[in-house]
Amino acid sequence: MIDFKSRIAEIIAATEIGLTPAEVRAMIEVPQDSKMGDFAFPCFRLAKTMRKAPQLIAADVAARIADNELFSSVQQVNAYVNMFLDKAAFAKELVTAVTEEGANYGRSNGGAGRTVIVEYSSPNIAKPFHIGHIRSTVIGNAIYKLYDAVGFNVVRINHLGDYGTQFGKMIVAYRKWGSEEELAHDPIKTLLKYYTRFHEEAAEHPELNDEAREAFVRLEAGAPEEVALWEKFRALSLAEFNRVYDMLGITFDSYAGESFYSDKMPRFIEELKEKGLLVQSQGAQIVDLEPYGMTPAMITKSDGSSLYVTRDIAAAVYRKEHYDFYKCLYVVASQQNLHFKQWKKVLELMGYEWQKDCIHVPFGLVSLADGDDIKMMSTREGRVVFLEDVLTTAVDKTAEIMRQKNAKDVDIDTVSREVGIGAVIFQELSNNRIKDYVFDWNNVLNFDGETGPYVQYTHARACSVLRNAGVDVNKLSVNDIDFSYLTIPSAYELIKLIYRVPEVVVDAADKYEPSILTRHLVDIAQAFNKFYHDEHILVDDEAERSAKLALVNASRIVIANCLGLLGIKAPERM
């Protein structure tokens, strides 16, 4: 397919305005109002170098390119050159490209096989996989899919929270109050009960905290009994987590968590000493970051046990040495901003220049519609909302809605799972990731709003039109189609939105922002539904019918592709 922006950039650059085609391309805009053209070139920047008013420059450029066959019209409006493409030619290029590329439409190779690591989800073992984990999990998965779509080799890492003093607490709690039978019956809720009880008891008996610290020190030292219990908790937790990951359709390339780096930390503690960065402070070892406006980064506690910063240093160096990453992305809540600033500064002071390629991708908090703030959830107090329960509820509510709507010829069990879980994922990804938002069932499962079910229903509608037309999409040809039938306003607006998908995917990846794609997908769905309502598609005229069905099929392909990049299924019937 023609890259129209690049072609236009070459045409404008040839008018000798002192810019390269690449520079011109970066300046070309897509007007919000289609009455202002398909593309626009602003001339403000040229005023200084050409020593002319921007309006005069725009008039000169417009006159020079007006006769090019690519354009049906070129207009100068103030300091802008507004360009209208030949609509039929544009429609032909777009629909043909989507039909031929199919599932690959929207993908590109800008990554050139370079490696990007995405660390996401990363729940703590022996603790509930709760609703607060959903943001890292689905945002991270979408970022992985976006980077894969733009040609990078992506490594998905679930950096499990499987180390630290909390496991000393869990070991002590299990030894004092644990039951093998109870643990086998419902592992995570049982471990949560033990953990909650530990903190209740420790409030009255502070010496329990000393026992927990000692248990963790023994665990770090490889004591067989502590290691055996830790391995049991880890295995049970992973089995529980994987049930939720299966519901979400998410897999990982590595589950190397904090414990994986336990034998790798001494190297870096020694390196920090050799480089004169370690300072003794009340028995602990720290890196003083006060000169950089930050509190100290604690490397080891007074009892010699490790901390997050130490393990993250070991993890980062291991990943660089093992994967030679181009970028290493950490999809972690914004509450950890200070931690990442400290950790990166320590890496910088150690002389690791590639630390600049380690990027924290923060996100905001989610709260429930009834006012329960997720950040107020506490495993210590046993107040949690299990993610599996949320997903199951979404599936059940969707099935109920579908039965009320008397959905026919639909596998309700399968589709309610795809739509219910898709609705939860879409809700997460439709919000700018850095913003806090409210999780509200009334919005999540709305089939008419800017939601996942609305987009999925649009895909099912397109599939229904093609079925009713008796079209085999695997044999659909765009040869000999009269694309002038797709120059009508509703069709052309849809075509322009579909054309932008590859560029939107790149933009979403570059900004680590899946909501850019989510919002564009909603625009496509709305444009398709306007086309569907404004135009009679299954008309008697064979030429018109074929053209419109080709656009319906292209829309079906693109909506399914975009949903897939968000980790959401595209049902053919709803």
* Burial of 442 (C-beta count, 10 Å sphere; 0-12/13-18/19+): exposed
Whether 536 is a known active-site residue: answer no
Point out the catalytic residue in the list 87, 92, 127, 169. Answer: 127
Point out the catalytic residue in the list 130, 344, 360, 496. Answer: 130
Rg (CA), the chain: 28
Which residue's entry shows tokens 């898709």? 422
* Amino acid present at 60: D
List Cβ neighbours of 228 (8 Å cut-off, separation of 6 or more).
none
Q: How many CA atoms lie within 13 A of 574 on its CB side?
A: 24
Give exposure, 34-68, as e/b (b: 16+ Cβ within 10 Å).
eebbbbbbebeebeeeeeeebbebbbbbbebbeee
DSSP code of residue 52: S
Report yes or no: 42 and 24 within 8 Å, Cβ to Cβ: no
Nearest residue to 117 via CA among 152, 154, 158, 149: 154
Report yes or no: 43 and 81 within 8 Å, Cβ to Cβ: yes
Helix 542-565, helix 514-534: angle, nearest 10:
160
Whether 5 is a known active-site residue: answer no
- For residue 439, the cross-strand partners are 368
Strand, coil or helix: 283 = coil
Whether 133 is a known active-site residue: answer yes
Point out the catalytic residue in the list 5, 133, 360, 496. Answer: 133
* Burial of 259 (C-beta count, 10 Å sphere; 0-12/13-18/19+): buried
- Taking the C-alpha atoms of residue 196 and residue 17, their distance in angstroms, rounded to an integer, is 70
Which residues are catalytically annotated?
Answer: 127, 130, 133
